Chains A and B, each alone.
Chain A
Amino acid sequence: MTYRRRVSPLHAARAAAGIVWCAGLGAAALIDSNPILLGAVLLAVLAGGLAAGVGHELRRALWLAVPLALTVALINALVTRNGLTVIWRFGNLPILGQTDVTLEATVYGGILGLRAATLVLCGVLYSVCVDPDEVLGLLRRWSFRSALTATVATRMLPVLLRDSARLAEAQRCRPGPPPGRMQLMRATTAGVLDRALDVAAALEVRGYGAARSAARGRGRPWSRHDLAFLCSGAAVLAAAIIGRVSGLAGFQAYPALHMAAGPGSLSLAAAVLVCALAPFADRRGIEP
Chain B
Amino acid sequence: MTRVVVSDVSYRYPGAASPALDRVSLEVEPGEFVVLAGASGTGKSTLLRAVAGLVPHFHGGEFAGRVQVGEMDTRDQGPGELAAQVATLFQDPETQVVMGTVRAELAFPLENRGWSEAAVARAVEETALALGIDALLDRSTAQLSGGELQRAALGATLAGRPSVVCLDEPTSQLDPVAGDELVGLLRRLNEDLELTVLLAEHRLERCLGVADRVVVLDGGRVAFDGAPDGFLGWAVKEAPALATPGARLLAGVGVAPVPGVRRARLAMREKGQLPVEVSFNGPYPRQMTPRAEEALKFHRVWHEIKNGPTILRGLSFTAKQGERIALMGRNGAGKSTLLRHAAGLLKPTRGKLQAQGRVALLLQNPNDYLVHDRVRDEAPAAALERFHLSHLAARHPRDLSGGEKQRLALAIVLGDPADPPAVLCLDEPTRGMDRHVKDELVTLLTGLEASVIVATHDPEFAALFADRVMLMGDGRIIADGSPREVLAGGTYFATEVARILDGAALTAVQGIALLTKQEVPA
Interfacial residues, chain A to chain B (CB-CB below 8 A): 2-5, 131-133, 137, 140, 152, 155, 158-159, 162, 166-167, 169-176, 179, 183-184, 186-187, 190-191, 195, 198-219, 288
User: When chains A and B are docked, how far (Å) is the Cα of A174 from the Cα of B86?
Assistant: 43
Contact A133 B363 (CB under 8 A): no
Contact A179 B79 (CB under 8 A): no
Q: Interface SS of chain B: helix, strand, loop or mixed?
A: mixed
Contact B140 A171 (CB under 8 A): no
Contact B113 A131 (CB under 8 A): no
**Is there a chain A Cβ closer than 8 Å to B104's Cβ?**
yes
Contact B368 A215 (CB under 8 A): no
User: When chains A and B are docked, how far (Å) is the Cα of A215 from the Cα of B111?
Assistant: 8
Given A173-B413, A187-B371, A219-B117: A205 and B140 interface contact (C-beta under 8 Å): no
Contact A202 B95 (CB under 8 A): yes
User: When chains A and B are docked, how far (Å) is the Cα of A267 from the Cα of B505?
Assistant: 84
Q: Which of the 9-residue segments B18-26, B290-298, B354-362, B449-457 touches chain A?
A: B354-362
Given A215-B114, A217-B118: A172 and B371 interface contact (C-beta under 8 Å): no
User: When chains A and B are docked, how far (Å) is the Cα of A166 from the Cα of B99?
Assistant: 22
User: When chains A and B are docked, how far (Å) is the Cα of A218 from the Cα of B117?
Assistant: 8
Given A183-B371, A204-B80, A215-B115: A3 and B90 interface contact (C-beta under 8 Å): no
Most buried by A among B52, B58, B156, B362: B58
Q: Chain A residues with Cβ under 8 A from B156's Cβ?
A: 206
User: When chains A and B are docked, how far (Å) is the Cα of A223 from the Cα of B3?
Assistant: 47
Contact B138 A288 (CB under 8 A): yes
User: When chains A and B are docked, how far (Å) is the Cα of A218 from the Cα of B358?
Assistant: 64
**Is there a chain A Cβ closer than 8 Å to B390's Cβ?**
no
Shortest distance from the beta carbon of A227 to any chain B beta carbon, whole Å: 20
Q: Chain B residues with Cβ under 8 A from A191's Cβ?
A: 367
Contact A169 B100 (CB under 8 A): no
Q: Chain B residues with Cβ under 8 A from A175's Cβ?
A: 358, 360, 413, 415-416, 419, 421
- Partner of A217 from the list B87, B109, B117 (CB cut-off 8 Å) is B117
Contact B88 A174 (CB under 8 A): no
- Partner of B78 from the list A152, A174, A210, A214 (CB cut-off 8 Å) is A210
Contact A173 B343 (CB under 8 A): yes
Shortest distance from the beta carbon of A4 to any chain B beta carbon, whole Å: 5
User: When chains A and B are docked, how far (Å) is the Cα of A113 from the Cα of B11?
Assistant: 59
Shortest distance from the beta carbon of B96 to any chain A beta carbon, whole Å: 4
Shortest distance from the beta carbon of B140 to any chain A beta carbon, whole Å: 5
Contact A133 B104 (CB under 8 A): yes
Which residue of A is nearest B409, CB measured? A170
Q: Chain B residues with Cβ under 8 A from A133's Cβ?
A: 99-101, 104
Which residue of B is nearest A203, CB measured? B98
Contact B415 A176 (CB under 8 A): yes
Q: Interface SS of chain A: helix, strand, loop or mixed?
A: helix
Q: Chain B residues with Cβ under 8 A from A179's Cβ?
A: 371-372
Most buried by A among B52, B58, B111, B371: B371
6 residue pairs from A and B, CB less than 8 Å apart: A132-B100, A140-B111, A169-B363, A169-B368, A171-B371, A288-B138
Contact A201 B54 (CB under 8 A): yes
Which residue of A is nearest B77, CB measured? A210
Contact A205 B117 (CB under 8 A): no
Shortest distance from the beta carbon of B44 to any chain A beta carbon, whole Å: 16
Contact B142 A4 (CB under 8 A): yes
Given A3-B100, A210-B80: A166 and B365 interface contact (C-beta under 8 Å): yes
Q: Chain A residues with Cβ under 8 A from B413's Cβ?
A: 173-175
Contact B108 A206 (CB under 8 A): yes
Contact B117 A210 (CB under 8 A): no
Shortest distance from the beta carbon of B74 to any chain A beta carbon, whole Å: 12
Contact string against A for B residues 88-110, beta-carbon threshold 8 Å, 1 for contact and 0 otherwise: 10101011101111001000110
Interface residues of B in 72-87 (CB under 8 A from A): 78-81, 83-84, 86-87
**Is there a chain A Cβ closer than 8 Å to B412's Cβ?**
yes
Most buried by A among B53, B111, B419: B111
Most buried by B among A4, A5, A172, A210: A210
Contact A214 B371 (CB under 8 A): no
Contact A213 B114 (CB under 8 A): yes
**Is there a chain A Cβ closer than 8 Å to B211's Cβ?**
no
Interface residues of B in 345-387 (CB under 8 A from A): 345, 358, 360-363, 365, 367-373
Contact B142 A169 (CB under 8 A): no
**Is there a chain A Cβ closer than 8 Å to B143's Cβ?**
yes
Shortest distance from the beta carbon of B302 to any chain A beta carbon, whole Å: 21
Given A3-B100, A152-B98, A207-B84, 14 more A-B residue pairs with CB atoms under 8 Å apart are A131-B101, A133-B99, A162-B94, A166-B368, A169-B363, A170-B368, A202-B95, A205-B54, A207-B113, A210-B112, A214-B120, A215-B115, A216-B117, A219-B117
Contact B140 A202 (CB under 8 A): no
Given A3-B100, A133-B101, A199-B98: A204 and B79 interface contact (C-beta under 8 Å): yes
Contact A155 B99 (CB under 8 A): yes
Shortest distance from the beta carbon of B473 to any chain A beta carbon, whole Å: 25
User: When chains A and B are docked, how far (Å) is the Cα of A44 from the Cα of B441?
Assistant: 60
Which residue of B is nearest A185, CB measured? B371
Contact B95 A173 (CB under 8 A): no
Q: Chain B residues with Cβ under 8 A from A215's Cβ?
A: 114-117
Q: Chain B residues with Cβ under 8 A from A190's Cβ?
A: 398
Q: Chain B residues with Cβ under 8 A from A4's Cβ?
A: 140, 142-143
Which residue of A is nearest B138, CB measured? A288
Contact A173 B370 (CB under 8 A): no
Contact B114 A205 (CB under 8 A): no
Q: Chain A residues with Cβ under 8 A from B398's Cβ?
A: 190
Contact B88 A173 (CB under 8 A): no
Which residue of A is nearest B421, CB measured? A175
Given A170-B368, A174-B412: A205 and B363 interface contact (C-beta under 8 Å): no
Q: Chain A residues with Cβ under 8 A from B99's Cβ?
A: 133, 155
User: When chains A and B are docked, how far (Å) is the Cα of A199 from the Cα of B160?
Assistant: 19
User: When chains A and B are docked, how far (Å) is the Cα of A140 from the Cα of B112?
Assistant: 10
Q: Chain A residues with Cβ under 8 A from B360's Cβ?
A: 173, 175
- Give 4 nearest A-B pairs by CB, closest first: A209-B80, A210-B80, A217-B117, A133-B104
Q: Chain A residues with Cβ under 8 A from B52's Cβ?
A: 205
User: When chains A and B are docked, how far (Å) is the Cα of A212 from the Cα of B373?
Assistant: 43
Which residue of B is nearest A288, CB measured? B138
Given A170-B369, A172-B345, A186-B371: A5 and B140 interface contact (C-beta under 8 Å): yes
User: When chains A and B are docked, how far (Å) is the Cα of A215 from the Cα of B120?
Assistant: 10
Q: Chain B residues with Cβ under 8 A from A140's Cβ?
A: 111
Contact B138 A5 (CB under 8 A): yes
Interface residues of B in 375-413 (CB under 8 A from A): 398, 412-413
Contact B112 A167 (CB under 8 A): no
Given A175-B360, A205-B87: A199 and B100 interface contact (C-beta under 8 Å): no
Shortest distance from the beta carbon of B350 to any chain A beta carbon, whole Å: 22
Contact A2 B98 (CB under 8 A): no
- Partner of B58 from the list A183, A204, A206 (CB cut-off 8 Å) is A204
Shortest distance from the beta carbon of A207 to any chain B beta carbon, whole Å: 4
- Partner of B142 from the list A2, A131, A174, A211 (CB cut-off 8 Å) is A2
User: When chains A and B are docked, how far (Å) is the Cα of A272 from the Cα of B340?
Assistant: 51
Given A4-B143, A201-B54: A207 and B109 interface contact (C-beta under 8 Å): yes
Given A211-B80, A215-B117: A202 and B112 interface contact (C-beta under 8 Å): no
Which residue of A is nearest B159, CB measured? A206
